[in-house]
Amino acid sequence: MPRREQERERERERERERERESAASSSANLTLAPSYRAARVGIEAEFGLLLRAVATCPQRPLAQLCDVDLPESGAPGRRVRSAEIEIFPKGATATETKMQTSKIILWPLAFLLLGIVFVGAKEPELRQLNVVFRHADRTPETFPKRFPNDPHMYESFHPIGPGGLTNEGKRRVYHLGEVLRNRYRDFLGSSRDDHRESLFAISSDVARTKMSLQLILVGLYPPSADSKWHEQLEWQPIPTYYNEFSKDTFFNSDRCQMFIDELTRVRSLPDVQKKLGKFDTYLEELRKTVGKKSKLNLNDILLLHNNLDIEKRMNLTMLPWMNDVLADERLIEMRRLYYEINSYTDLLKRLLSGFMLRKINEDMFEASTNANFTRKVTLYGGHDKNIIALLQSLKIYDGHFPDFTSALIFELWFHDKGYYVKVRIRRDT
């Protein structure tokens, strides 16, 4: 390598190191005005990672998108009451559970409660919902060069197309909307048309998430008699939003160059190399099985497991090797390792989930301090990686892969002149 090019490369490496140090210290050096801190201290106590799960990405193509510095001031507000976070048994239903001096009753269906409700003189009042959900069931994505021995890599899946929503998926995400409507009926109110000021719905820039967002809204906000414009359609148009794929930090922050640089550094660490090295023999065997010419990597593992699982669900033809690979526990272990490495450092966690957590935190703050803030519900139509990243940042991820239409729900409650937050997981089956 010419000397000039070597010097340029060393300068680029020094620049990356400065960026890593700057981002790693950004959360520790946050300064909030006294009024802002007083209004927000409870959420900070309960959701400590919300304030730590932010980072800047200076001097990069996405710098303006990764810049998530918190406001320097804010209106005085009520003190937010903190509460512990506890994971309850997966199969828990309407069972009374005691924890120290607090009491909670888990409600049935597929929701798992992660917050603690304290006993008081008045009934708690729900003030805001933030729902992050995975898109509905889809067809396999086709990667003939990655997995040439998979016969379904050459199919068009007409008329849906690769990675498109299936009819079963459409029904399932529509049902999720109905579940949310029934669950939060009192909070949403009797009017199903009051969504212009009370709802914000955003998805990633992918067809299946956009469609899933539209379908969940059909179940969540069916038209009333006054708004019904077609006798045979139980549907009303509701605006939805998305950011261009290359500018999306809510759902695709792993495309940020700073994340890529940090992940590259992490994958070269000796302890990470040791974890990966345990699977060298398996990866070579698997490479021959799927027919790929080059080495398999963790991204291949994620795509392969997703595709085989979907093909089996859709009752597509499964060759013997496909069933064997899908049933191999090593494939599951490697997929878990993929998510572990992607959030191996605090910086990776901040970059993966910090932007969405910051937005949720800001909206909860507005709902608790601003009487003119009318939004009740924010819907985030995303992917399994988004739910996992949030769970990892909150330190409540248990290695479970979120199924289609799984949802992570942040509830802001008011009780006895204070606010607190509950987090629910809906694991659809």
* pLDDT, tens digit, 9 for 90 and up, residues 2-24: 666 666 666 666 665 655 554 44
Q: What is the pLDDT of residue 197?
A: 79
Write the DSSP symbol of residue 245: G
Segment 95-143, tens digit of pLDDT: 222 222 222 222 222 334 444 444 445 788 999 999 999 999 999 999 9
Interhelix angle 384-393/329-342, rounded to 10 degrees, is: 60
Q: How far apart are CA 82 and CA 46, in angstroms?
A: 5
In which band, very low, low, confident or very high, does the pLDDT at 50 lie, cut at 50, 70 and 90? very low
Q: Please report, for residues 82, 83, 292, 367, 421, the alpha-carbon distance to residue 46 in angstroms, rounded to integers and kept in the order given.
A: 5, 6, 47, 17, 8
Q: Where are the domains of the chain?
A: 3-269+344-426
- Give me the sign of the Cα torsion angle 189, 195, 197, 201: positive
Phi, psi at residue 389, to the nearest 5°? Answer: -60, -40
pLDDT at 52 over 80: no
End-to-end CA distance of the chain: 55
pLDDT at 305 over 80: yes
In which band, very low, low, confident or very high, does the pLDDT at 207 lie, cut at 50, 70 and 90? very high
Segment 132-186, tens digit of pLDDT: 999 999 999 999 999 999 999 999 999 999 999 999 999 999 999 999 999 999 9
Q: Which residue has the higher pLDDT, 402 or 116?
A: 402
CATH class of 3-269+344-426: alpha beta
Q: Which of 95-109, 277-291, 358-372 has the lowest mean pLDDT?
A: 95-109
Q: What angle do CA 340, 346, 349 make, to 5 degrees?
A: 60
Residue 132: CB atoms within 10 Å: 26
Q: What percent of the chain is predicted at pLDDT more than 90?
A: 57
Q: Which residue has the higher pLDDT, 407 or 247?
A: 407
Q: What is the pLDDT of residue 416?
A: 82
pTM of the model as a whole: 0.75
Q: Please report, for residues 6, 54, 254, 338, 394, the alpha-carbon distance to residue 262 in angstroms, rounded to integers and kept in the order given.
A: 21, 15, 10, 15, 20
- Numbers of helices and strands, H then E, in the chain: 15, 9
